[in-house]
Structure 1
Amino acid sequence: MPTRNPRAPRPPPASPWAPAPDRELQRQAKRDAVLQAGAQLFNERGFHATSLDDIAARLGVSKPTLYYYVKNKDQILIECVRQGLEMTIAGIEASRAAGGQAIDQLMACMRVYAHIVTMDFGMCLIRVGDEELPEGSRKELRRLKSAIDHEFRRLVAAGVAEGSLAPCDPKMTAFVIAGALSWIGRWYHSGGDYTPEQIAEQCIATLCAGVLRRQDVARVGPRTRKATATSKK
């Protein structure tokens, strides 16, 4: 049986510290958990009614532990809202890259938007908004919001040009679409009667087809114009 040479170097002890890449992944995972918990609590209680103690309690850690990953509650909100916006923009860009007619791209973008506002970060974007943020962050996040609005306007205008959408004001129509789909984030809660996918499809169908029966649509125009004319007298 071979014996070990006492002069041979001993193997190094196993390090209790993970390699640097693993440590960074672990840190990022923990930071993501802090943001997720923050978004959930902001959605449930509101920004001002949520404290760092609340977020720490939900994660089962002490409040000082949070400071390894975020500076303060404002930073958590900034990151939550930014993630909601960036997820939306990425989804819209992917829908556009898939190609197809403008109406196909518009419908895909609407589905993306409707789905994201049922998720923690997207819901935080809608329920909390940017009014609670410092001025500098507010400007940056409003720039991102503007990019979403302009994408909807572009697709509406392209849909009108290709003949798949009725003539309309692209700006006003984009406001209506985004406003209606954003409101899902206000009333949605998981475990309800409908899945996010079902909610998206029903809301989009209502936006695109309306609520009137087809034979009634033609009768609305003349009555509306007559009422308008009467009101001007």
Structure 2
Amino acid sequence: MPTAKAASRRSIAPAAPKPSGPPTQPVSGQPAASPWAPVSLRERQREAKRNAVLQAAAQLFNERGFHATSLDDIAARLNVTKPTLYYYVKNKDEILLQCVSKGLTMMLDGIDASRAAGGKAIDQLMTCMQVYARIVTQDFGMCLIRVGDEQLPPESRKELRRLKAAIDQEFRRLVAEGVEEGSLQPCDPKMTAFVIAGALSWIGRWYQPVGEYSPEQVAQQCIATLCGGVLRRSADDISLKAATVPVPKRRAASGKVKTAVRSRGG
């Protein structure tokens, strides 16, 4: 009868023999798998994270103001550390520049698309107004209106104002063409463009995402008021005929405006 010691020895499996050759290598022609994602994917991921930084910053600028928002606040909103932000942006000034640039680019792209769609000037103008009103209710467009470009360095401010001027010129062009085709009352395109852009820009000041109206409803009502006015009038109301809408003369070279004052003293 085998002893307990012998039985114990039989229960232990023999050790596997050591390999005599070199370590196993990948099959020839099959490259080793890389733990890193392809460059294109990494670039997309980085851009997505950078956009997340900008969007969080725009929201905070809109809520608290530019000066009252710190990089620590932006990092906390994103659940990252402050040093992580420096991988995507240089400083807070660059963040603001990128935020307002995005707002302007969105507007210009929308205006270009409406122009490319063709149609009458009035149709293009209405589409541009809808684009403008919708964008100023979004984070980057709202940041453009609420924060503006006053906090930026002179060179950056100059470039952004150039883009704003391009939007103004497009509105002027469409107003002038609308007058020419007869779909708009005769008017001064410059002043009318200022009124349109000013009224629609102000939406970005008072609009609240949790408010009573959706962005589409806000745009529709504001544009309807701008185009239809607030006065009730008949079709033959002579007080609003084209003859009563004078086009101002060009200012003198000195920039001063001469005003005629009627003497009441005789």
TM-score by length of 1: 0.90
1:104-123, aligned counterparts within 5 Å? 104-123=123-142
Are 1:56 and 2:75 an aligned pair? Answer: yes
Measure the CA separation in 2 of the matches of 1:107 and 1:217: 25
Deviation at 1:184, TM superposition (A): 0.3
Q: State how far apart, in whole Å, the 2-side matches of 1:17 and 1:76 are.
A: 29
RMSD, aligned CA: 2.2
Separation (CA, whole Å) in 1 of partners of 2:214 and 2:232: 26
Q: Which amino acid is the alignment partner of residue 204 of structure 2? A: G
Query: Judging changes above 3 Å, is the alpha-carbon distance between structure 1 residues 153 and 146 closer, same or farther for their aligned structure 2 residues?
Result: same
Pairing partner for 1:29 from 27, 40, 48: 48
Shift of 1:8: 6.2
2:174 counterpart residue number? 155
CA distance in 2, matches of 1:103, 1:109: 10
Query: Displacement of 1:23 after TM fit?
Result: 0.7
In structure 2, what is the equivalent of residue 96 of structure 1? 115
What SS does the aligned partner of 1:215 have? coil
5+ residue gaps, structure 2? 1-20, 245-260
- Local SS of the residue matching 2:137: coil
Give the AA of the match of 2:147. Answer: V
The residue matched to 1:152 in structure 2 has which SS?
A: helix
Instruction: Number of aligned residue pairs: give it.
Output: 222
Does residue 78 in structure 1 map to residue 97 in structure 2? Answer: yes
Residue of structure 1 in register with 2:152 after alignment: 133
- What does residue 184 of structure 1 align with? 203
Change (3 A) 1:205 1:217: farther
TM-score (norm 2): 0.79
Distance 1:183 1:32 in 2: 25
Aligned to 1:228: none
Is 1:171 the counterpart of 2:187? The answer is no
Q: Deviations over 1:44-87 (max 9, x none)?
A: 00000000000000000000000000000000000000000000
Distance 2:212 2:238 in 1: 35
More helix by share: 1
Q: How far 1:95 sits from its partner (Å)?
A: 0.4
Unpaired runs of 5+ in structure 1?
Answer: 226-230
Query: Sequence identity, in percent?
Result: 73
Q: C-alpha offsets along residues 16-65 of structure 1, whole Å, 9 cap, x if unaligned? A: 32111111111101000000001000000000000000000000000000
Task: Please report how far the alpha carbon of residue 6 of structure 1 lies from its aligned counterpart in structure 2 after TM superposition.
Answer: 7.7
Name the larger-Rg structure: 2
Return the structure number with greater relative CO, CA threshold 8 A, min gap 6. Answer: 1
